Amino acid sequence: MNRFTYANHPNYYVKTPKLIYVDRYGNIYPDCKTYKTRPICHITEKNAAAIVYEQAFDTMDRGIFNMITIEVSSVCQANCLYCFQNDAHRNDKYAFYDYLLSFLERLEAYWVFFSGGEILIQKEAMDFMRKYRASNPNTWIHLKSNGNAGEVEAKFVSEVCNSIMISFNGFSTSSYRTIMGLDIEKTKRFCEIIKKTGKTNLGVKLLNSPISISETPEFLEWAFSITPKCIVIQNAFNYTIDSSGKSIRLESTLPECDCSPYWKDVYRAIGLRCDCVLDKWYDKINKGSNYLTADKDFLNLVVLSPRNKALFRTDGIYVIE
């Protein structure tokens, strides 16, 4: 399955990776931070691929993208309280599949990264991914999902995807149902099926908010026990809706540790519990599986021992291939 080693993987060591992002409206951006950058062009433009190449590469470059991210419809069976796609276009049908296939066929990439909404409930999206896989057998296909799915969807993942990242918004029955409106046991079973099948590299991600951050140690314990390729911890952000109906990113859902003595003590207690889990699994972390990534916001709140803090990547890269 692996085409590269950790040391020479073009997604992991390059300082300025070549990225493009095609959002659900068909706009093509030079990175995934669409709230910071202007689009290059629209996917319906006749010469869209040529425009993208011209902006991304000079004559000395090979012309291969590190990652192309494709966002399709935002239709989803979850209803996460702080979802960045919970806007006026939430249930719009994706309109650009016919353009998308020809666009991707004109580009080379190490990774093609598909996200929604939730693709595993969108038949058109899965049919498109099967079609793309059939014509691009050597491209690494990555999927972002909430993983609240069953055996049929797990079979699709094992046949089409090289890797999948499954996000948890909370890690107890109560917090998961409160935030997402879903059954966490179904998602955990799905992760375990993917891992047992062994055809697709599994990553698991915890998105923390005030209701769920105390569950981080339990998430880590479970994650280490199933030995996924990658484990990620991030802070969830708030979003608002602008006049056009699009989502705008705001501040973290989590308060700063100096905002009150209460939160300072909570973060300290969570850090101590996380240290216990990390100490227990220390010798099996970042050793071919259980690769750790966390955002700096999380590590600035929850204080870990220097040894354990050094286990985490903080550059936003998932070691999942």
Q: Round to whole Å and give the CA distance between 97 and 291.
A: 34
In the 8-state DSSP scheme, what is residue 316? S
Q: Does residue 46 or residue 271 have the better pLDDT?
A: 271
SS (H, E, C) 183-229: CHHHHHHHHHHHHHHCCCEEEEEEEECCCCHHHHHHHHHHHHHHCCC
pLDDT of residue 245: 57
Residue 239 lies in a domain: yes
Residue 107 lies in a domain: yes
Residue 287 lies in a domain: no
Token pair in block for residue 193:
């099926």
Instruction: State the pLDDT confidence band at 110, using cuts at 50, 70 and 90.
Output: confident
Residue 84 has pLDDT above 70, yes or no: no
Task: Report the largest interatomic distance among the alpha carbons of the chain, rounded to a whole angstrom.
Answer: 58
Domain count, the chain: 1
Instruction: State the pLDDT confidence band at 116, using cuts at 50, 70 and 90.
Output: confident
Instruction: State the pLDDT confidence band at 100, using cuts at 50, 70 and 90.
Output: very high
Residue 115's domain comprises 10-254
CATH code, 190: 3.20.20.70
Residue 149 has pLDDT above 70, yes or no: yes
pLDDT of residue 254: 76
Q: Specify which of 57-71, 96-110, 189-203 reaches the highest per-range mean pLDDT.
A: 189-203
Residue 317 lies in a domain: no
Residue 124 lies in a domain: yes
Distances (CA, A) of 60 to 23, 63, 105, 122, 168: 28, 9, 22, 40, 42
Residue 35 has pLDDT above 70, yes or no: no
Q: Round to whole Å and give the CA distance between 306 and 316.
A: 20
240 contacts 299 by C-beta, under 8 angstroms: no
